[in-house]
Amino acid sequence: MSLELLTVAMFAALILTITLGHELAFTLAGVATLFGLIDNGFNIPGLFDLFANNVWGLMNNYTLVAIPLFIFMAQLLDQSKVADALFESLHVVLGGIKGGLGLSVVVVCTVFAATTGIIGASVVAMGLLAAPALTNKGYQKEMTSGIICASGTLGILIPPSIMMVVYSGLTGLKETSVGNLFAGAIFPGLLLSGLYFLYIVVRCNLNPRLGPPISREEASRYTSSQKWGMTLKSLLPPLGLILMVMGTILAGVATATEAAGMGALGAFLLALFNRAITWPVIRKASVATLRTTSMVMMLFIGGTFFSTVFLSMGGGDVVADLFIGSGLNRWAALGIMMFIIFILGMFIDWAAILLVTVPIFMPIASALDFNPLWFSMMMCVNLQTSFLTPPFGYALFYFKGVAPPEYSMMHVYKGIMPFVGLQVLGLIILAVFPALATWLPAFFFGG
């Protein structure tokens, strides 16, 4: 079998098995095993050595220790009700303007994203807390669904982000270290948040029925000083936690793993201060952390094995020749890669997309003379869409599971479409202004 045919067959087998509904981690490892044996003439000991070496190298990766620590931090923050207090205060401060409650959701999710990095926690928390409030104030169901789902996905991009930790572990490059990725993601994350903010303001001012303001009586219940006092009181604790995690990384005081440990400790103290720490809470957070970490690491093992077999049999060269040897303009090649990631995001989990595409696309980006950090940010911003695009956008199902009963899946699908467009617009802006991703890492870390 020719190398080109073997490459096509390997990807076809992967897509087929995923479509049949098999577990992704075992699908990646199973397809890799089959085609690894075909490629090496069914040399089982040789394939086992390849597998063992890769798993050992993966388990030896100190950076990945940050994953369970960030997950545990997110679980404790979910219990500490930080988002609840912040939303209640912003509900009073911003509720008096058109679309103000929607803007409150964006602000809370942006702050929450900078403290958790877990999509499910943000979407579920806002679905439980904000969806009934927005519905009771007369917000359109589609607008409410789009705001909560899109804002909740910011957690995967705004650092500290588990996606960035996984990405860095896959590349092993100095340019794409966790610190550089965290710094590089700050402006793109704030860009998307700002686009959501601007969209809500414009749409609700053009059509106030989409997001009406709260009543004057409710808005005037508190004085200006009381409103700002409530906001600062609810905002300072998460900002302190952000400073503890991101501040130490950007200042070069701590590695990402050390900062994750500090973040977990800070989240514990915050929950303790809010009297939310009990033995059942700790047990629940620990079990959830164990399950999520196990899922991520199993995906990591299967994906690493898949990419190793694919690259060792020469599949990476086939794909590289297709992009580079075809005579395509470098920007056309970039557009094709981004389009592939966008389409994959409709059907496959972000972790699997990274595990399959990063080892293949990064060498191509390097050959096309793209900045590795900027290209990485392009991929990560693009992967935001995977949580919103039907049919398998995770944020959509997270929200539907906790939304009021009058919300149908069609409300959710219609609501997220403008926000998917805003995410694509953010990707285009990042392509036109690469300094959005590269300036801050250069400022803090040089190079």
The closest alpha carbon to 266, from 282, 243, 285, belongs to 243
End-to-end CA distance of the chain: 45
pLDDT of the chain along its 447 residues, tens only? 677 788 888 878 887 887 777 777 788 888 888 888 887 778 888 888 878 877 777 777 777 787 788 888 877 877 766 666 777 777 777 777 888 888 888 988 888 788 766 666 677 777 777 888 888 888 888 999 999 889 888 888 888 888 888 888 888 788 888 889 999 999 999 999 999 999 999 999 999 888 888 777 766 676 777 777 877 777 778 888 888 888 888 877 888 788 888 888 888 888 888 777 888 888 888 888 888 788 778 877 887 788 788 877 877 777 777 776 667 788 998 999 999 899 888 877 787 788 888 888 998 898 889 999 999 999 999 988 888 887 777 788 778 877 888 888 888 889 999 999 999 999 999 999 999 999 999 988 875
Contact 381, 430 (CB under 8 A): yes
Kindly write down the DSSP assignment for every residue of 352-387, as one continuous string.
Answer: HHHHHHHHHHHHHHHHTT--HHHHHHHHHHHHHGGG
| pLDDT score, position 118 | 65
Kindly write down the DSSP assignment for every residue of 197-249, as one continuous string.
Answer: HHHHHHHHHH-GGGSPPPPHHHHTTS-HHHHHHHHHHHHHHHHHHHIIIIIHH
Report in angstroms the alpha-carbon separations of 73 from 68, 103, 154, 231, 249.
8, 26, 17, 23, 16
User: 252: buried, middle or exposed (CB in 10 Å: 19+, 13-18, 0-12)?
Assistant: exposed
Distance of alpha carbon 219 from alpha carbon 196, whole angstroms:
23
Kindly write down the DSSP assignment for every residue of 249-309, as one continuous string.
Answer: HHTTSS-HHHHHHHHHHHHHHHHHHTT---HHHHHHHHHHHHHHHHHHHHHHHHHHHHHHH
Cα dihedral 89, 92, 98, 100 in deg (nearest 10)? 0
**Positive/negative CA dihedral, 76, 81, 82, 83:** positive
| pLDDT score, position 117 | 64
Where b means 16+ CB within 10 Å and e means fewer, 281-319 reads: bbeebeebbeebbeebbbbbbbbbbbbbbbeebebbebb
Distance of alpha carbon 342 from alpha carbon 108, whole angstroms:
27
The closest alpha carbon to 407, from 180, 186, 144, belongs to 144
Tokens encoding 279? 């033995």
SS3 category, 194: helix
Distance of alpha carbon 402 from alpha carbon 120, whole angstroms:
11
| pLDDT score, position 420 | 93
Q: What is the DSSP letter of 63?
A: G
| pLDDT score, position 377 | 94
The closest alpha carbon to 364, from 342, 329, 337, belongs to 337
